[in-house]
Structures are given as C-alpha cells and as structure tokens.
Amino acid sequence: MYFEHPLKILKYSAKNIWLLIFPLLRGIYTYHFDKNWFYSWAKGAWFDIAVLGAIIIFGFVRWFFSRIYFTDEELVHRDGVFLRIHTYIPFRNISSVTVERPIYMAPLRAMRFRCDTRAGIFKTVDLKLLVSDKTRRHIMEHMLDIDAKEKIEGIPQPNVWSILMFSIFFSSGFSGTVYLATFFFKGGDIAYNIISRSLNIITIETAKITEKLVLKIPTAAIFIGVFFIASWFLSFLVNLFRYGRFTIECDKSCMKVRYGILDRKEYRIKNSHINYTDLRQNLIMKLFGAVAVNISCAGYGSSKNRLPVLLPVKHEKKLGKNLQVIGIYSGIKNDYSAQPAGIGSYLLIPLIIAALIIPSHDWVARLFPRFAELSFFVAVMLEIPAVWFIIVKFVALLTSGVALYDDKIMIRCSAWTRFHKVVSERDKIVKMELEQNLLQALSGRCAMSIWFEGEEHRRFKIKAMKASDVRKIADILGYELAEKVKA
C-alpha cells in the first residue's frame, strides 16, 4: 500500500479554504465595532488558529485515506473519508500513463501521475495522483514498458531545429493572447502597467517610423499588430519550453515519449491502443514536405494546451520505415481521389468570403467615413488570409483522397487551413457517412466522412469524392451505404 505525496495535503486543504470566511468575518466585526480592536482580535486569535488547524486536519485526513494498492492484474485507488471510493483499473486496459515533473515540485521530489484507459467520451483523465519518486517507481514497475531487447532502432529523434520549427508553426496569436490576458488578469495592476507602458513605447516609436515613411497605418491597428506579434512570440516561447528535449523510444507494443524543459513529462503509450496517426501540415509545411506526426491515444496530449505530438516537424521523406510499426507509412498514393470537377465544394465558400471583403469595406467607409482608413486596413488584413484560404482549399482538392493497403486505411483531407494524412487500422473505423445533396447526386459526387475509435469523436471529411468510389470503399470496409439519392 502506498500513499500520495504529502504535498497533496495542501491541495485537499485548499478545498476547505472557504472556512477562512469565519476568521475574516470575525476580523471585520472586531475592527468595526470594537475600540480596542487589535487587542480583541488578538484575544480571539485562538479561533482563527483553530479554523486553520481544522482546514489542515481535513486535508490530512483526506490524504490519509487516499491510498494506492496493487494486485497482480490491477491498480486500485481508494479515496474518500465518509464515502469510500475504490477505483479498479486493470493494467491490460491502460492505454497511456503520464508522469509529469513540474520544476517547482522538484525540491520536494513530488510528481504527477496520470493513467488513462479508452473509457469515456471526453478527454478526461481516469486516475490522477500526486506521488513521490519512490511511489512512482513502484507504480511504474507494474506499467507497460519498452523491452530493451526488442527496442526499435532508427526512430528519428526530433532535433533542436524540428522543435524550433514546430514551435513556430504551432504557436498561434490567439493562444498567446490568452496567455497575455491571463497574465493581465492574474498579475494585476503591476503587470498591466509594465506591459501597457512597454507597448505604448513600442507603438509610439513605430508610429514615428511609419509617419516618416508616409505609411498611413492607424495607431490602433499598429497597437493590435504589436499586441498579436508579442502574444505569438510568447506562445512560441511557451511551446519551445514545453516540447524541448523531445525524445521518443519504441518497441512493438509500447512507446515512450519524453519532452519538456522546465516541466518534464514522460508518456508510456500502448501501441495497440493508438486510434490513429495523424500527419499534420499547413501550406508552408506542405510546400517543404515537412510534417508533424500526431497520434490519437487516450491520455496522450489530453492535458490543457498540449498537442498529441509524436514527432515534431520532420521531413516526410526522412521518416523512414522504422515507424511502420505505429502506422506511419510514406510514399503511399491515393486509391480514390477527390474529383477536380467538384472544385465548387472546396472553393465556393472561400471565394465568396474573399469577394465580399472589399465591398464590405466600401459600405463601412460610406456609412462611417471617419473609420474609412481603419476599415481599409482591416479589409486588406482580412483579404490576405482569405486568398491564403483559397490556395489551401485548392491544394486540398488536388491532394484529398483515400488509400487502402494491408489492413490499413489512409485518409488525406483538410480542415480549415490544415492538411491531415490519417492512418489507422480498418477495424478501428466506427462510423462512415456518405453525404450527397441534389446537385451532387446529379453529378455522381458526394462527401465522405469517417470516424475512428477514441474518446474524442473526430470527423475526417473528404469532399468531392465519386459516389461510386465511396460505395466501393464502404464495401471493402464492410459497410453498406444506402442507395443513391434520387434527383
């Protein structure tokens, strides 16, 4: 039997922190209604100490009843003081285990342990514990691990360059903004003053330069731009620290992934529980033949702001044959492709969006002449991603399709501005859909969607497929799709 790390007492105690309302009320009362308020407050301090003691005792009792056991086949966690909660997790059903060592817990030798099975519909963790290094070692003895004799050699290890590229491609202005906003809210006035002062200086300086260059960019737009660049850079740094020192080891049944510079994480993943492998690209990565390999497996990359990345940016041709064990094949061509004649289903919406931006600026400029300059700037700024979106969708039309080989299925598709190459075993498909409107029925085309096993029910949709091809695919996969929609 093992206990969680004593640090957990603080976390359990924190749940009863609301009890501090009583000392607070007492303090307010004595301050307002008593002449010798300090004396009265100090005289009754025993009450505050008693409340604080009660909070810590509650935390201790809760910690004392949180125990970890093992049997030959399962991990058992007992929790709860009044209601006893026993969680039994068979080792054979564990899909992934995670050990996280945050730097601030390092002096206390505490670490977070998580284990996950394929149960449930949300990306929730099945068991979360705060353990000591000793307990972690004992738990990990029972967990899946790599057999040193059967270890697959030649797995491409991500280098500094690939982590850097990954951090550049997968850092977004939005998430950076969220970080900054959190910083503003939590850091309070001091952080607000520092950042706003710095931004003001940058904005004033940039405004001077633009004035000199006779570029009539509104100050508000410069401010927003600087803000987004700064937030993107912050997001980039966070990703760099998060995915730095990335290593991957693998045998036929298990995979071990470690990453993180400050918060070191170690994952052990059961290969047979990987739902699918997703080779992601954006347009720039596609041009250079680079991919980021992600996997879908319960518990992997399910924490907040984490990506289920297995190989940060790598050249697709350099992935090698050693990764076939986890479903990563290269050089496979589509057996069934999207039809170029179905160009409308890919380009119609992007073209409409791109075409509407400039007229929208004209309307805004007529209605609000004061904002004409800003509106023009916004229109230009929106037109750039709109044109980019058209190019992405055109490339998606040329590359989307399905390949069937061995017992695997490979789907090439796109979602927003990302390209996906999804590889999985055929028997991991849980749902297939053929979608056809009347126009598509006339032309014999349709959209095909496929869902794979997993906690997250994710749809992979390929538009403009030939309906007869989709029926053939369904037939091979053992699905029976309804007859053609009658026009």
Partner 1 sequence: MKQYYPDRHCLTTMRLIITAAVVIILWAVRYFIPIEKIVMLSIVVVISIACFEMFVHLPMFFNSISYSATETEVTKSSGVFIKVHQSVRYSSIQYTTRISSPLSQYTGFNFIIFFVYGGQLRLLFLKRSDADEIIRLSGSISVKED
Residues at the contact surface with partner 1, assessed by CB under 8 A: 69, 71, 73-74, 76, 78, 80, 82-90, 93, 117-121, 126, 453
- DSSP H or E segment with residue 465: strand 459-466
120 vs 340, which CB is nearer to partner 1? 120
Residues with Cβ within 8 Å of 443's Cβ and at least 6 positions away in sequence, in order, are 341, 342
118 vs 466, which CB is nearer to partner 1? 118
Beta carbon of residue 435, minimum distance to partner 1 (angstroms, whole number) = 23
266 vs 453, which CB is nearer to partner 1? 453
Contact call for residues 294 and 310 (beta carbons, < 8 A): yes
65 vs 228, which CB is nearer to partner 1? 65
Q: Is 454 left (phi over 0), alpha (psi -120 to 50) or beta?
A: left
Backbone angles phi, psi at 39, to 5 degrees: -65, -45
Q: Which tokens hold the place of 177?
A: 């903004």
CA-CA distance, 162 to 168, in Å (whole number)? 10
Beta carbon of residue 299, minimum distance to partner 1 (angstroms, whole number) = 12
Can you tell me which residue has the tokens 């400039």? 358
- Looking only at the bridges linking them, the beta strands covering 290-296 and 276-281 are antiparallel
- Looking only at the bridges linking them, the beta strands covering 309-315 and 110-117 are unpaired
88 vs 192, which CB is nearer to partner 1? 88
CA-CA distance, 176 to 153, in Å (whole number)? 37
Amino acid letter for position 194: I
Can you tell me which residue has the tokens 């924490």? 303
Q: Which tokens hold the place of 369?
A: 């002449």
Beta carbon of residue 422, minimum distance to partner 1 (angstroms, whole number) = 20
Beta carbon of residue 128, minimum distance to partner 1 (angstroms, whole number) = 13
119 vs 229, which CB is nearer to partner 1? 119
85 vs 356, which CB is nearer to partner 1? 85
298 vs 338, which CB is nearer to partner 1? 298
Residue 76, beta-bridge partner list: 69, 88
Beta carbon of residue 430, minimum distance to partner 1 (angstroms, whole number) = 9
Beta carbon of residue 127, minimum distance to partner 1 (angstroms, whole number) = 8
Contact call for residues 300 and 96 (beta carbons, < 8 A): yes
Beta carbon of residue 274, minimum distance to partner 1 (angstroms, whole number) = 15
Beta carbon of residue 74, minimum distance to partner 1 (angstroms, whole number) = 6
Surface-to-core class of residue 482, CB atoms within 10 Å of its CB (0-12 exposed, 13-18 middle, 19+ buried): exposed
